[in-house]
Amino acid sequence: MKQAFNSYLPSYEYIPDGEPHVFGDRVYIYGSHDWFGGKKFCLNHYVCYSAPVADLTDWKYEGVIYRNDQDVRMVNGSHELWAPDTVRGKDGRYYLYYCADDMLPEIGVAVCDSPAGCYEFLGIVHDKTGVGCQLK
């Protein structure tokens, strides 16, 4: 059996559900982050990698952009962070939408002034019953 590696990340890195976006002249990859040898997936914080659009061989590790203990529902960091996605709002800020493990069914939202900066918890989206959005 062959081992598969991501062609743009270091061989030791595994981001199982990376989402690419172009903001300005860079491509950003946002993703969950596995622990090496972990018993479950997505136990680490969200990380980001970026590269110039003109040179997709020059990837840079941007670091941890959101920790799993920043969400008010999981201050002890005990839940996994799954499947993030990021958009740029009309206000020019960047919004990170994410879900935690299936124990926390609502979508979380964090915000930042730059695409690869330190995102801060903003609120929880409640949509299953049409109850709108609760923000801090």
Q: Which CATH number covers residue 102?
A: 2.115.10.20
Which DSSP helix (H) or strand (E) runs through 88? Answer: strand 81-88
Is the residue at 62 inside a domain? yes
Per the structure, how many domains does the chain have? 1
Is the residue at 112 inside a domain? yes
Banded pLDDT at 37 (limits 50, 70, 90):
low
* Three-class DSSP category at 8: coil
Banded pLDDT at 136 (limits 50, 70, 90):
very low
Is the residue at 10 inside a domain? no
Among residues 35, 16, 36, 29, the alpha carbon closest in space to that of 60 is found at: 29
Q: What angle do CA 26, 32, 38 make, to 5 degrees?
A: 140
> Which residues neighbour 14 within 8 Å (Cβ) at sequence distance 6 or greater?
6, 33, 34
Is the residue at 4 inside a domain? no
The model's pLDDT over 90-122, given as tens digits with 9 standing for 90+, comes to 999 999 998 876 666 778 899 999 999 999 999
Is the residue at 13 inside a domain? no
Look up the pTM and report it: 0.80
Is the residue at 85 inside a domain? yes
